[in-house]
Amino acid sequence: MNPKYATQIEFFSHPFLCRLRTIPCLLLSCIVFLAGCVPNRPYRLGSPPPTPEGQQVSKAPEYANARQYPKAQKFPSIVRRSQNSTEKRNYDLAYIEFDDMGEFWTIGNLGTSHANANSQLEAAVDLIEERKRTMPVAVVAFIHGWKNNASEYDETHKNLEGFKDQLQLLAEHDQLHSYIGVFLSWRGQSLPGDLFFSYWNRRDAARRVGGASMTEAIFRLMFVTKPPVPPSPTDRDQCGAVNSPASLEAANKPRDLFVLIGHSFGVRILERAISQPLMALLYERRSEADICRKAYDDLHKDNPLKVITFESPADLIVTINAANDAFEAKAMIEGMQRMNLRTCIGDTCNAQGEYFDSPPVIVSILSKGDWITRKLMPVAQAISYPSQKLNRKYDENAYEEGQLVDVKQHSFFLHNEGSIQQLVSHTVATCTPETPCVPCPEGLMFKGKTTQYELIPVWIDPATCKKITPPATQDSSGAKPDPSSQRRFVNKTPFWVFMVPESVIPGHTEINTEAASALVQAIVFSQATSGKKSISIALPTTQTPDPPQPKP
């Protein structure tokens, strides 16, 4: 075993460090006793009250501590768009709330086929179906992070306020869709005025909230927005090929969009809720696409499909400043590698024959100014380290199999995916008059308030737009290179990971900036860059030769 690594294990397992774990618990108990807890309760169970035209909307009061939170108020779970003089909203907003154990606050009527009674989820589904009858919808679901909830105070001060602002910007920017926001809320704040002592308590709560009920809510919203369409081997559909008549016909029509966003501990909930079912869906759709391709090739032996595509369940999943360890992200990235999924943006991707023209499924964004997840989270995670049973090394054949042998398992436990250099797929270049950006075919340009940026893959040289040759797996003598000195694992999957400068996202909580909104919009609407109007995942196909014919 590496002596340096052995020293780290001995340090984290020292009895003194184990005793230190009791200090946060004692301090937390004192704070709870002195200040009280934020109630474990829902905030959005009421029916939408009638609001006369021009009536002034009351401003949310500030509550100094938990005991001042109103216990009887019930704000509506559905807030419809409004064009009155006091508050202009070009979007609808639905709330779905979860308790501290991860269950729905509104279970609904389980005795009927349509659980309509007292169900926030069913109210949101009905709203989406209603809007879809008139025009294409864009559903944006958001899972908030630590120290947030669905209270009226958060509506004017925290994540909820920023989410509403971003919905308004999106709705004003895109006139082709009816925008619907869904605020997926949980008890992110347990102690009023808390700085860091509730980290472990809320971290564990986020794990519980990302359970089956959250999975049900996310995928119900996803599939009511974008029902799955099985591929067809007909001449019109060609198993969903980009240049098929059906795809070209649909390219000129707006379509329904589903975007899921998580922030801070909301990322922990999101990754916990979607990682397993999403991987199952990707495998299922990949298998269906491959079966369709074989059926099409049997009918068109003279012109078989060289590339097959299948649609992603969601148009985009965004994680911002993830307060979660990197294990879920690492597993999804490695699974996509094993499925041989490759993506990039740009007209030359298909011509190169190595990467395929498709925006990502998941984007993980980490701010360089986020000192909470980059500096404090590893310290907080280290306090829990002695109770973890982590592998000291990976399989001896992991290097040949492309595993990250130069990153030990404890690093994935202490850090999020954005802090693991080997998982990073893209970089963000800041365009200045002194160092202007070169628009590369594989790059994506976006603009903040005054500055322009380019998002570009790490395997592309931003100065020349040429592909960087990966390091060889062995030198001329046949010896393996040192894994620690060469970056062998390159993330080319639909799971993008990158850091952004502070001018895009200043820190951990300041995520609702114009540049951040422009980045998400650029990725969602990147079809305009690639000349493609549908987001899909592409995979190479291996054409097997026809069996030899028997001699006459």
Domain assignment present for residue 451? The answer is no
Domain assignment present for residue 457? The answer is no
Alpha carbon of residue 46 to chain centroid: 30
Domain assignment present for residue 452? The answer is no
Residue type present at position 228: P
Domain assignment present for residue 442? The answer is no
Please, which residues have CB within 8 angstroms of residue 204's CB and are 6 or more apart in sequence? none
- The string of pLDDT tens digits covering residues 478-492 is 445 454 444 456 788
Domain assignment present for residue 63? The answer is no
- Structural domains in the chain (count): 1
Instruction: Please give the backbone phi and psi of residue 413, each rounded to the nearest 5 degrees, phi first.
Output: -75, -35
The boundaries of the domain holding residue 141 are 3-47+69-390+402-425+504-513+530-540
- The string of pLDDT tens digits covering residues 170-214 is 898 888 899 999 999 999 988 887 777 889 999 999 999 999 999
- CB contact burial 294-317 (16+ within 10 A = b; e otherwise): bebbeeeeeeebebbbbbbbbbbb
Asked if pLDDT for residue 247 goes beyond 80, the answer is no
The predicted pLDDT at position 213 comes to: 96
DSSP states of 103-122? -BS----TTSSS--TT-HHH
Domain assignment present for residue 469? The answer is no
CA–CA dist 263, 145 (Å, integer): 5
CA–CA dist 416, 324 (Å, integer): 6
The maximal CA–CA distance of the chain, rounded, in angstroms, is: 94
The two three-digit tokens of residue 241, written as one number: 């090929």
Domain assignment present for residue 102? The answer is yes
Asked if pLDDT for residue 277 goes beyond 90, the answer is yes
DSSP states of 368-383? TT-HIIIIIHHHHHHH
* pTM of the predicted model as reported, rounded to 2 decimal places: 0.83
**pLDDT confidence tier of residue 239, bands split at 50, 70 and 90:** confident
- The string of pLDDT tens digits covering residues 132-179 is 999 999 999 999 999 989 888 887 778 888 899 889 988 988 888 999
Alpha carbon of residue 70 to chain centroid: 33
Q: With the CA atoms of 363, 367, 372 and 378 taken in that order, what torsion angle do they form, in degrees rounded to the nearest 10?
A: 60
The predicted pLDDT at position 504 comes to: 94
- The string of pLDDT tens digits covering residues 52-94 is 343 433 333 333 333 334 443 567 888 888 776 566 788 999 9
CA–CA dist 38, 534 (Å, integer): 44
Per the CB < 8 A criterion, the answer to whether 185 and 149 are in contact is yes
